[in-house]
Amino acid sequence: MAQPAGPLDSPWTRRYASAPDASVRLVCLPHAGGSAPFYNELAKALSPDVEVVAVQYPGRLERWRDPLMENLAELADVLTGELLPLTEGDFALFGHSLGTTVAFEVARRLQAQGRTPVHLFASGRGAPSRHRREFATRPDDRTLLQLMRGLGGTDPRVLEDEELMRLALPVLRADYTLLDSYRYVPGPPLDCPVTALNGKEDHKVTPADAEAWREHTTGSFDSLVFPGGHFYLVDQRAEVTGTITARLADSRDRHGH
């Protein structure tokens, strides 16, 4: 796959493994409070066959000066424009939690512009049609810390570090405000296969929430459950990597590649 000259230098995208001969590009979108390096290990595991491009949301790490966004539709609009140059060849989208909802909305927008992904991987989030608000009002620090402890995926020592939390909590609060701004608007389904991936002990996503993704595609659908909670994919990286590789191969075979 030829590397485009400009877009990967965008503030919005990061690459962690070289894959110049990859046949497909996988755009990965992080969870609430997350950032692009969350996909570092996945990128290395999938290369050289799949090129991973991880999205870097504003307001974190080297983008700490950029204003946090609190409207999901606006974020999806901006991201669609940023990612459009990366969709000239075969591409797929992988989102986790918040990133899944953003990935779905980006996929809808790209499809409307004639750029349909070959696959959507919906991790740790129920179907958009079953979206529920996380908070009735803007959460305070204590509420956010309780949420982080409940979801797992964060070292308890980090949660006790007041300086780190002083930096992390505003980002997390903005991301949940962004997620709670989401209103699903019915529209044409995606014309690509969808795979739902969830942790067995993740109580945020019910089996019905996962199964409802079927309504959002004209393509094939499957729902996979892995051992673990909301951040199952950290401990189940090898299994998740294998699933992605197999599904992308199937999707590209259907496209005649």
Q: Among all residues, which ones are annotated catalytic?
A: 97, 230
φ, ψ for residue 82 (rounded to 5)? -70, -35
Taking residue 150's Cβ as centre, other Cβ atoms within 10 Å add up to: 11
Q: Which tokens sit at 156?
A: 């308890």
Phi-psi label, residue 12: left if phi above 0, alpha if psi -120 to 50, beta otherwise? alpha
> In 3-state terms, what secondary structure has residue 40?
helix
Q: How far apart are CA 209 and CA 137, in angstroms?
A: 23
Report angle CA 174, 52, 66 to the nearest 5 degrees. Answer: 30
Widest CA span in the chain = 53
Report angle CA 92, 176, 63 to the nearest 5 degrees. Answer: 70
Strand order in the sheet with 194-199: 13-14, 50-55, 24-29, 91-96, 120-123, 194-199, 221-226
Cα dihedral sign, 184-102-72-149: positive
> In 3-state terms, what secondary structure has residue 16?
coil
